[in-house]
Structure 1
Amino acid sequence: MISIIIPVLNEEVYVTKLIRHLQDCSSLDLVKEVLVVDGGSTDGTIEKCQDLGIKVLKGEKGRAKQMNLGASYATGSILYFLHVDTFPPFQFDAIIKNALRHDTEAGCFRMKFDSANSFLRLFSWFTRINHRICRGGDQSLFITKSLFEKSGGFNEDYIIYEDNEFIGRLYKGTKFRVLPYHVKTSARKYEKIGALKLQYYFGMIHLRKFLGAGPNELYQYYQRKILAKV
């Protein structure tokens, strides 16, 4: 059984779209629960979830903290971490369960943007490559609960880059699979900042991490270059 964990903060529009998408694209006998973990929303996010019958956990702001909290409450043997603006493929639950039957403990999907931008289409093509440099949270992440607990979960020191840091650890210790199906994720940040510019900033974050930058330095760069513009 799968526990879907969705961290949110002021996402009343997207959370409604995603929950309805999950209900339309999954089997009731495979998804045990959907856990929305709120980091202090001041809009109608919580009310929208409750109206749709979804359990909402309230925690501290910070995606790593929120996802760890969701995992601690999850009762399924498979955890599926999903960004609120990422929509998984049809029958994603059956696809994940089937993948975990074949010597796999963790993995993700390929990714497409909800945009016709040529650069973003090229960038998303690289998500089919099974290398840690091509990974990111927008591709979603499925993992057995036992491996999640064994690996220590997300590092809460990271306000950003938490997905990459965790997946990087998984690559070192387990067989990680990239499934040949696509999630579709929002290009809203790229549309606001500019596709080339934003991807350059993300590339610099990867480079700074490779050169030894810690969580605080990465977040300060993100604040200056990205957060201030969205």
Structure 2
Amino acid sequence: MSKMSIIIPMLNEADHIGHLLTHLLENSSKENIAEIIIADGGSTDKSLDIVSKHKSVKLLNSSKGRAKQMNLGAKNATGSILYFLHADSFPPKDFDTLIINEVKKGNEAGCFRMKFNSNHLWLKLAGQLTRLPWKICRGGDQSQFITATLFNNIGGFNENFTIYEDNDLIAKLYDRKQFVVIQKWLTTSARCYCVNGVWRLQYHYWRIHLKKWMGADAKELNRYYKKYIY
């Protein structure tokens, strides 16, 4: 029987992580979940205290950086399916069964369609676009499931990236024609847009995608992100 390891990179997520853990437990079946792994990148708020109250959760201390944190989680996972999830993204009810069913069909990697917890017109439209199968419509906030075998075959996340690590992995999966979008809604936080401004942040995200398409390496993308968004 296929079992899933849920891997969550965390850094100062006290406002979300407790709600997410409760949500995961209430919307999945125990027999499908091998473990929930939190890979912490050095939280200084109350995140660690909140996680410690969930005795069934495996907490790992990691170097900072989502790619590093998620790779560490994967190394410590026992499930045949890895499910990478941001701390402020809430998957649909029975997400575990939905993912396992896709893997049984031969789909070794994919995500859910996504909506923001915002009524902003652009963010509502952006959410609708995640229904589409195009690579440009993908992102880490949609979560990512992948079989452990395939994850290891493609070398995991590229740790040179401090941003864009999700899209880098997704691009490799699209190159292998191994990606499916499950047509159920995952809900994610619009907090980054609220802090930076919707149009300003979206402009910089488009610039980052364009830079990558034109051949920018991880260092250049990281510098741009830290200058305009970080």
* TM-score range normalised by the length of the shorter chain: over 0.9
Secondary structure of 2:180's counterpart equals strand
1:66 is aligned to 2:69: yes
Q: 1:225 Cα shift?
A: 1.1
1:123 is aligned to 2:106: no
Pick the aligned partner of 1:31 from 30, 33, 38.
33
CA RMSD of aligned residues (A): 0.8
Secondary structure of 2:31's counterpart equals coil
Q: 1:133 Cα shift?
A: 1.1
Q: Percent identity?
A: 50
Q: Output aligned runs, 1:199-210, within 5 Å.
A: 199-210=202-213
Q: Partners in 1 of 2:196 and 2:177 — Cα distance?
A: 36
- Which structure 1 residue ranges, 5 or more long, are not aligned? none
Name 2:95's counterpart in structure 1.
92
Q: 1:50 Cα shift?
A: 1.1
Q: Is the 8 A contact 1:59 1:69 kept in 2?
A: yes
Q: Output aligned runs, 1:126-145, within 5 Å.
A: 126-145=129-148
Q: Partners in 1 of 2:134 and 2:123 — Cα distance?
A: 19
Q: Is the 8 A contact 1:105 1:144 kept in 2?
A: yes
Secondary structure of 1:83's counterpart equals coil
Pick the aligned partner of 1:101 from 100, 104, 108.
104
Q: Partners in 2 of 1:88 and 1:55 — Cα distance?
A: 20
Pick the aligned partner of 1:15 from 8, 14, 17.
17
Name 1:163's counterpart in structure 2.
166
Q: Partners in 1 of 2:177 and 2:82 — Cα distance?
A: 16
Pick the aligned partner of 1:78 from 81, 86, 89.
81
Q: 1:132 Cα shift?
A: 1.2
Letter in 2 for 1:197: R
Deviates more, 1:188-197 or 1:102-111: 188-197
Q: Is the 8 A contact 1:79 1:143 kept in 2?
A: yes
Letter in 2 for 1:163: D
Q: Partners in 2 of 1:67 and 1:81 — Cα distance?
A: 7
Q: Partners in 1 of 2:176 and 2:125 — Cα distance?
A: 30
Describe the superposition over 1:189-210 as per-residue Cα deviations: whole angstroms up to 9, x where unpaired.
Answer: 1111111111111000000011
Describe the superposition over 1:85-110 as per-residue Cα deviations: whole angstroms up to 9, x where unpaired.
Answer: 00000010000011111121000000
Secondary structure of 2:6's counterpart equals strand
Q: Partners in 1 of 2:177 and 2:9 — Cα distance?
A: 25
Name 1:49's counterpart in structure 2.
51
Name 1:195's counterpart in structure 2.
198
Runs (4+) of structure 1 moved beyond 4 Å? none
Letter in 2 for 1:21: H
Letter in 2 for 1:73: N
Q: Is the 8 A contact 1:36 1:56 kept in 2?
A: yes
Letter in 1 for 2:188: T
Letter in 2 for 1:32: A
Letter in 2 for 1:33: E
Q: 1:175 Cα shift?
A: 2.2
Q: Partners in 1 of 2:178 and 2:223 — Cα distance?
A: 33
Q: Is the 8 A contact 1:105 1:174 kept in 2?
A: no
Q: 1:44 Cα shift?
A: 1.6
